[in-house]
Amino acid sequence: MTVTTPHSAYWEGVRDGLPFILVVAPFALLFGVVATEAGLTVWETLAFSVVVIAGAAQFTALQLMQENAPTVIVLASALAVNLRMAMYSASLTPHLGATPIWQRALAAYMMVDQSYACSILAYERNRDWTPMQKMAFYFGAVTPVIPVWYAMTVAGALIGSSMPAGLALDFAVPITFIAMIAPALRTLAHKAAATASVVLALGFAFVPFNLGLIIAGIGGMMVGAQVELWMDRRART
């Protein structure tokens, strides 16, 4: 590995973030289409994507508003879907905590599944990076993704309901998420955490307000941590 400056870390981030355009573009396009079908204007749809930048939470909120759910329920459910961002935030803190507050605020605003996933993997590969290099990589990783998120939302809103149903765009979201998770299943602890998460999410799917996902997330983390401790003990004996 060659010497990494913040400049080159930024460009490494851009390179690692580029493939996620293919992930984010259909997701944003789909949100644009779904939102205009729900009666939102192009401007309202764009504002939604710029202010919130969280696909899954936006879909959740839109769905519940169409069902005329109380505003409190809409917000609680969508924020529950976004609770994972607090976990991402906590897990990025040891790496980015020493950078200036305005950079951390900007990083927080642009935090999405993809930028988190590829940054945390890069930090594990490059343990010698300074906080500045890590932040540069992070900003690099979001550079291709965020503008595409805005632009494709507008494109989707303009295309509106003329999208053919045969494209099965509904499944773009699960496929991209699975493609991100699969390479991260490196150790037994990671696999156990993911398996527990799936079992708990399906088992607790009946729990209202998306709290089943929160149970699955916390349960999966506990299983991962316990399996890691167990592996450490076994390695030592």
Partner 1 sequence: MTDPIIAKGTLWTVIILLGLGSFALRFAFLGLIGNRPMPDWIMRHLRYTAVAVLPGLVAPLVVWPGATDGVLDLPRLTAALTTLVVGYLTKNVLAAIFSGAGMLYLLLYLMG
User: Least distance (Å) from partner 1 to the CB of residue 155?
Assistant: 19
Nearest approach in angstroms of CB 200 to partner 1 is: 6
Report the residue number, 9 or 216, with the smaller CB distance to partner 1. Answer: 216
Angstrom distance (rounded) from CA 32 to CA 177:
19
Nearer to partner 1, 3 or 206 (CB): 206
**CB of 91: closest distance to partner 1 in angstroms?**
4
Nearer to partner 1, 3 or 101 (CB): 101
Closest approach of partner 1 to the CB of residue 46, in Å: 11
CA distance 131 to 137: 10
In the complex with partner 1, the residue whose CB is nearer, 3 or 39, is 39
Return all residues near 191 (Cβ < 8 A) that are at least 6 apart.
185
